[in-house]
Amino acid sequence: MLLRFTKMHGLGNDFMVIDLVSQHAHIQPKHAKQWGDRHTGVGFDQLLIVEPPQNPDVDFRYRIFNSDGSEVEQCGNGARCFARFVVDKRLTVKRKIKVETKGGIIELDIRPDGQIRVDMGPPRLVPAEIPFQAEQEALSYPLEVDGQRVELAAVSMGNPHAVLRVDSVEQAPVHELGPKIEHHPRFPQRVNLGFLQVIDRRHARLRVWERGAGETQACGTGACAAAVAAIRQGWMDSPVQIELPGGRLSIEWAGPGQPVMMTGPAVRVFEGQVRL
């Protein structure tokens, strides 16, 4: 059978989006791995699947698979593309949408200027909820990696993140430390790693190594986690502008217990069909 799909991106973090509301198919991890190959498939960082809700209080269910076939809980750039997709495909007429994800319920607001504002919910900071192995909650944690000690923050935005402050994102050892910390035994579900360079109280630069995908052009949940870590440690003040290789996101956070609000673009690239 042939499945219709849309290729989209949020600041260069790219997605294959499939509507399983009007189409019917059983997508498996092997399909994500096959289609995600940039040489022999469609090519993407993540596969996004739009499904009818299981919860009667929300509008849609949203599933996310990395290009290695692993299913993940949350994706901020994907959430913005999801919102643009369901409106463009006339699956809803709402401008404010509630979506059920593996990491919890999020709210999406499509603004008149085309930017999409996402209520990502409150960050989770208790180590067991991230999950991260630590005796108690702290602003940052020491971690031993190949005999060297690094100091990082640990935050969950529905998926686990570590944030490491660096002097320069250009010189940051993203491809050396990224896979090692992703698979560190103190992160039992693996982790996304953000390399954060603080420019001033309102601006920062960020590169992110995403579990199951490697370095991406942008990571929405990574930008949220980096903003939370920087605000908690007194380096920055909300709202903050986070510059990623693919572009800029605006992040607002009022403090513990409050939701993280992310605003940024979502772009449709092309339409296609794939054989299942």
Q: Please check if 77 is assigned to a binding site.
A: yes
Of the candidates 17, 18, 72, 75, the residue annotated as catalytic is: 75
Of the candidates 153, 196, 219, 266, the residue annotated as catalytic is: 219
Active site residue 75: yes
Question: Element (H or E) spanning 33, and its range?
Answer: helix 29-36
Q: Please check if 76 is assigned to a binding site.
A: yes
CA torsion, points 179, 120, 23, 41, in degrees to nearest 10? -20
Q: Please check if 216 is assigned to a binding site.
A: no
Q: Please check if 55 is assigned to a binding site.
A: no
Q: Please check if 234 is assigned to a binding site.
A: no
Q: Please check if 103 is assigned to a binding site.
A: no
Handedness of CA 108, 13, 193, 60 (dihedral sign): positive
Q: Please check if 220 is assigned to a binding site.
A: yes
Q: Please check if 210 is assigned to a binding site.
A: yes
**Phi/psi at 212 (5° precision):** 80, -5
Give which of 138, 141, 143 is closest to 126, Cα–Cα.
138
Give the integer Cα–Cα distance in Å for 76 and 228. Answer: 14
- Tokens 């993940």 belong to which residue? 72
Q: Is the peptide bond before 56 cis (omega within 30 degrees of 0)?
A: no
Catalytic center residues: 75, 219
Residues at the binding site are 13, 46, 66, 76-77, 159, 192, 210-211, 220-221
